[in-house]
A and B are shown apart, each in its own frame.
Chain A
Amino acid sequence: MSSLLFDIPGPRARARHRIYTVISLLVLAALVGLAVRKLIQEGVLTSTVFNETFQNSNVRYLLEGLVGTLKAAALAIVGALILGMTLATARLSNHAWINLPARLIIEFFRAVPLVLLMIFLYFTFRSTLGGLGAVVAALMLYNGSVLAEVFRAGVNAVQSGQSDAAYALGMRKAQVMQLIMVPQAVRFMLPAIISQCVIVLKDTSLGYVIVYDEVVRRGRQVALVVNDGTILTYATIALVFITINYSLSKLAQYLERRLSQRGQQGGKIKVDEMSGGGA
């Protein structure tokens, strides 16, 4: 138990905690009970609603939508990684004429809302990009810029003694980066990259505004048809997202623990703190 905020509890504190536990359990149970009662009262938890919502055609329709979501997310992540590496390389350059434009691009795309970017790309380049292209391009530009900062932070998190030693051996900057810094930095970045995948997956849903066919859009179509099953439909889709994203987060945590056990020092890079967690 954390000892920053409180001492290890003695017998009296433990007794008090037991009372608080009972009270908070009662409050939580009451809240859950009220919610469930409301759902039952409104008749959205009956087997008829359940069967209507999860009829085969609906399930297939939603699963096809999920394919659209995963496709956009996969393309966007690959694109964002490539763009991020390019921008990070430019950003780490010592030449101001490479460094500054990269910095401007990164700052611009990190500050502009994704929805705005998607709408602009879709309407302006509709004939070349199409729905999928606009979603992927917008996600790529935004997440590529975030990842560029992650990569840069990762390289900067490698102890400076490493690069000093490499320069002292007479290596050039490109060699120092390729042989010394980047291989070590990748370990700090991996958890952050996986966290970014969670954000990309969630943000594919923003394709809704430009009529891209993915699971949240299809979910809304289903939800508005199966009248009483609206909540059930949304809850199911949310559950799918939570399952995938929660597993990804756990994987990131596992990697973070594994990699920090190797005993080498360096900073931790938190992607949430760079992107605020996406939409």
Chain B
Amino acid sequence: MQILIDNFSEIVDGFVVTLWLLLFAGLIAAVLGTVLVAMRVSPITVLRGAGTSYINVVRNTPLLLILFLFRDAFPKLGFNYSINNYFDFFFVAATVGLGLYAAAFVCEALRSGINSIPVGQAEAARAIGMSFGQTMRQVILPQAFRASVPPLVSTYIALAKNTSVALAIAVTEATFVMKKLTNDHPSERWWIFVGFAGGYILIVWVIALIGNVFERRGALAR
């Protein structure tokens, strides 16, 4: 127990990096995932194919391999960015890798939401003379978003946990700190594990809570 109090500031610093990773990667995933789902449901066969290929490639590749690509391989092609000393190259590489990976799952979550709507909804909207834009804005997308909330919550929970993989490319996030403490203090390993697990459970719990709010707000009788 004492170990968690003694190293409290270092632990908090670790979780702050975890949350930054989650925020930036989450934003990338949200934007790219929306673009991908638009491609996947569009009437243009070429775009559908491109979207599907992206999903199949990214979803079936281990996240660690994607992070290694950004860490080892892409710098050779000139991908070598950092924002400042805090958001260094490793952080940027991990963020982009995590974001591209999670985008595939965000896309699938949104698509499952769209697919859950009965065709009759769109047909009814068209039958009463709504334009394409009206049908989308007022009938399809609100329902689709509502149905997407539970899988989106799972996706973002998985992303929060997956930020821990960034430790493999030297990002000093929470699990990185945990590994260091575990190494340095053999007698305190159980406490360290419980403490860090508690931190992650808190993050997961907050994401689930946000999801609940969205779900309840959108809950309408069908």
The residues of A with any CB-CB pair to B shorter than 8 Å are 1-7, 9, 13, 17, 20-21, 24-25, 28, 38-39, 42, 44, 108, 111-116, 119-120, 123-124, 198, 202-203, 205-206, 208-209, 216, 219-220, 223-224, 228, 230-231, 234, 237-238, 241-242, 245-246, 249, 270, 272-279
Number of interface residues of B (CB under 8 A): 69
If A216-B68, A231-B76, A270-B112 touch, whether A9 touches B193 (CB-CB below 8 Å) is no
Cβ distance B94 to chain A, nearest Cβ, rounded Å: 13
Other-chain residue from A20, A115, A124, A202 in contact with B167 (beta carbon distance below 8 A): A115
Which chain A residues border B105 with CB–CB below 8 Å? Answer: 272, 276-277
Which chain B residues border A238 with CB–CB below 8 Å? Answer: 57, 61, 65
Other-chain residue from B158, B183, B196 in contact with A278 (beta carbon distance below 8 A): B158
Check if B129 is an interface residue, CB within 8 A of chain A: no
Asked if residues A220 and B68 are in contact (CB atoms below 8 Å), the reply is yes
CA distance A116 to B189 in the complex (A): 12
Which chain A residues border B204 with CB–CB below 8 Å? Answer: 111
Other-chain residue from A6, A219, A246, A273 in contact with B151 (beta carbon distance below 8 A): A273
Which chain B residues border A39 with CB–CB below 8 Å? Answer: 77
The 5 closest A-B pairs by CB, nearest first: A276-B158, A245-B60, A113-B164, A205-B62, A113-B161
Determine the residue in chain B with the shortest Cβ distance to A230: B73
Which chain A residues border B196 with CB–CB below 8 Å? Answer: 116
CA distance A277 to B65 in the complex (A): 15
Asked if residues A24 and B68 are in contact (CB atoms below 8 Å), the reply is no
Check if B72 is an interface residue, CB within 8 A of chain A: yes
If A21-B44, A119-B175, A216-B68 touch, whether A246 touches B56 (CB-CB below 8 Å) is yes
Asked if residues A4 and B73 are in contact (CB atoms below 8 Å), the reply is no
* Apart from A20-B44, A108-B197, A115-B167, 16 more pairs, CB < 8 Å: A2-B41, A3-B122, A5-B122, A13-B43, A17-B43, A21-B45, A111-B161, A116-B164, A198-B60, A206-B64, A208-B64, A230-B73, A242-B61, A276-B155, A277-B104, A279-B165
Check if B17 is an interface residue, CB within 8 A of chain A: no
Asked if residues A115 and B164 are in contact (CB atoms below 8 Å), the reply is yes
Asked if residues B150 and A273 are in contact (CB atoms below 8 Å), the reply is yes
Q: Can you list 20 A-B pairs with a CB-CB distance of less than 8 A?
A: A1-B43, A3-B119, A13-B43, A24-B46, A28-B46, A111-B197, A124-B190, A202-B61, A205-B62, A205-B63, A209-B167, A223-B68, A230-B76, A241-B60, A241-B62, A242-B61, A245-B59, A246-B60, A275-B154, A276-B154
Other-chain residue from B43, B56, B69 in contact with A234 (beta carbon distance below 8 A): B69
Give the interface SS of chain B, mostly helix, strand, loop or mixed: helix
CA distance A12 to B1 in the complex (A): 71
Check if B162 is an interface residue, CB within 8 A of chain A: yes
Which chain A residues border B165 with CB–CB below 8 Å? Answer: 115, 206, 279
Check if B24 is an interface residue, CB within 8 A of chain A: no
Check if B140 is an interface residue, CB within 8 A of chain A: yes
Asked if residues A28 and B157 are in contact (CB atoms below 8 Å), the reply is no
If A20-B44, A111-B204, A202-B62 touch, whether A116 touches B175 (CB-CB below 8 Å) is yes
Asked if residues A123 and B189 are in contact (CB atoms below 8 Å), the reply is yes
Cβ distance A86 to chain B, nearest Cβ, rounded Å: 22
CA distance A106 to B182 in the complex (A): 24
CA distance A74 to B53 in the complex (A): 27
If A124-B189, A246-B56, A270-B112 touch, whether A115 touches B72 (CB-CB below 8 Å) is no
Which chain A residues border B164 with CB–CB below 8 Å? Answer: 113-116
Asked if residues A241 and B77 are in contact (CB atoms below 8 Å), the reply is no
Asked if residues B60 and A6 are in contact (CB atoms below 8 Å), the reply is no
